[in-house]
Structures are given as C-alpha cells and as structure tokens.
Amino acid sequence: MRILITGSRGQLGSELINIAPKKHEVFGFDMDMDITDIKAVEDKFSLVEPDIVIHCAAYTDVDGCEDNAEKAYLVNCLGTENLALVASRYKCEFVYISTDYVFDGKKTSPYTEYDEPNPLSVYGKSKLGGERVVSQIIEKFYIIRTTGIYSKYGKNFVETIIKNSKDSKTKGVLKVVDDQICTPTYSKDLAECIYSLIETKMYGIYHATNNGQCSWYEFAKEIFNILINLSKVSAAPVNIEPIKSKDLVDRKAKRPSYSVLSNFKLEKRNIFYMREWKDALKDFLEEFKDFI
C-alpha cells in the first residue's frame, strides 16, 4: 500500500516511518504539508496518490490549547477535515490518532470503545471534533485512541524526567502527580499495532495502549527502578515526591483523573496484544540507555 503519514517528524509519525514493513511505500509529511492549508494537502495527495492516510499531526500542547483554542480547532479539527475531504476524493482508507483526553475520567475501570466521550479540555474537545469529521466524511476509517506516548523522538515524559533529574535547579527533588492514572505507551508497540490493524479491514474505533495502569508518579519511579537494574545509575539521582494536580498552578488544562483505556476490540478480535507498560518501558530504556 502507498501510505501517507502526517506529523512525520513527531513521536508516532517518526516511529511509523522507522518500522514500516517493507511491503509498504511510505511518504511522510510534517509542516511541509500544513494540514490547515487545503491546497497544500491537495498538492501532496496528487504527488503521492495514497491508498491510506495515517494522520498523526496535531497541536499536542495540552496547556497551550487552553491559551490558543483557535489554533487547537484549526489544526486538530479543520486540518483533519481538510485531510479527510481530500482523502475521500482518493477513496483512501484513513487512520486518525486520538486520545484518552476525550474522556472525563469519572470512571473507575478502563474505558472501552463503547463509553461516551466527554472531554474536559480544549485539546480533548478538538481531538474529539477530529474524530467526528473523520467518521462523517470517510467511509473506511480507523480511529485509534491512545495514551501517554513516549519514544526516542521528540519531547515526552521519560525524556523530561531524565533531563530534569540532571538539572541542578531541581535541587534533588522531582515532584510528580499521583492523582492522574493512565497507561504509558511505547511508540514502537503502538506503531506495530497500527500496521497490524490496517491489515484487518475491520474499520471503526479502537483503543490501543500498553496494558496495565499507573500514576505519573509511579511511572517516574519505575523509570529509575529500571535504570538502576540496568546498572545505568547506581541510585535514583533525585527523590521523586508525589503531589496533587491542584498543586500545579501553571497547568491550564483540566486532565481526566482516570483515563485508562481497555484494548477491548483489539483483544476480543485477536488483532494485536499490547504488552504490559513496565515490559515496554524496560525494552525502551534498555535500547536507549547509552543515550540517556
């Protein structure tokens, strides 16, 4: 298949390009195809003539979206609508990457694909808007909701925690929230899952995250536990202390307190099994320990 990937310099887009099965021809675009400009989208489609689009581009700064709602709706809704309109002319299949932040976090057990979204933030609302335009315009679509992506590409929680642990300004203490529960997800596992899913032709909404759940505090602690086991560090370079979300005054966006997703459809249809988050994190840190 000829696959057009948007957001190709971001975390997931880079991974999708890096691990693309050889049988596919993959074409990646980032800001060189500004999705808010439909003419730019038309031009790239006429060059590539894709069979399928994997749409990873987004305005992903969750707090930034609160300050700049217009940009959030421009990129995440209108940009997605531009792509969907042009893709429908080419009769493309379409993969839209969405988020756990479409949910309000009031549940206490994992959200399935059949739970009702109710986003708390501008980011969540704009990503849900993107889901809606895709399902209205595209006949053969996959909407894939995921959580807490980390990768060797770009800014993410693992990189930030390790970087901050080396920063003298932290004075040996990193404070991390313990009242938001989700599932960290390794970009490589998610990319493999996406390539399996697009083989199935079983279109619709899917949840795809690593298995299990943790708070961001537990996630941070586990990063250093693993690095100690890998003999990368002899002891955690900083103390990690739990704090509550309400104490982070500079965070503008409301986040769901519980946004664990159940990979219900992937598992019941035997499409792909996402491993436990701790196993994925260990592999990631093992592979990249020399760069850390």
Ligand X SMILES: NC(=O)c1ccc[n+]([C@@H]2O[C@H](COP(=O)([O-])OP(=O)(O)OC[C@H]3O[C@@H](n4cnc5c(N)ncnc54)[C@H](OP(=O)(O)O)[C@@H]3O)[C@@H](O)[C@H]2O)c1
The single-letter DSSP state of residue 275 is: P
CB of 275 to ligand X, least distance (A): 18
Query: Catalytic annotation on 123?
Result: yes
Shortest distance, CB of residue 228 to ligand X, whole angstroms? 25
Q: How many helices (H) and strands (E) in the chain?
A: 11, 12
What minimum distance in Å lies between the beta carbon of 184 and ligand X?
A: 9
Say which residues have a Cβ less than 8 Å from residue 27's Cβ, sequence separation at least 6.
Answer: 2, 3, 4, 5, 44, 48, 50
Residue closest to ligand X, measured at CB = 10
* Residues making contact with ligand X (CB under 6 A): 6-7, 9-13, 30-31, 33-36, 56-60, 75, 79, 97, 99, 127, 146-149, 154
Tokens of 242: 């739990």
What is the Cα–Cα distance from 143 to 55, expressed in whole angstroms?
A: 10
State which residue, 83 or 174, has the beta carbon closest to ligand X. 83
- How many C-beta atoms lie closer than 10 Å to residue 259's C-beta? 27
Residue 261: strand pairing partners: 111
**Cβ 113 to ligand X, closest distance in Å?**
15
* Residue whose CB is less far from ligand X, 69 or 236: 69
DSSP-derived pairing of the beta strands 185-186 and 149-150: parallel
Residue among 77 and 238 whose Cβ is closer to ligand X: 77
Sign for the CA dihedral angle at 275, 279, 283, 289 comes to positive
Cα distance between residue 19 and residue 4, in whole Å: 14
| Catalytic site residue from 59, 101, 123, 153 | 123
Nearer to ligand X, 46 or 160 (CB): 160
Q: Which residues are catalytic?
A: 123
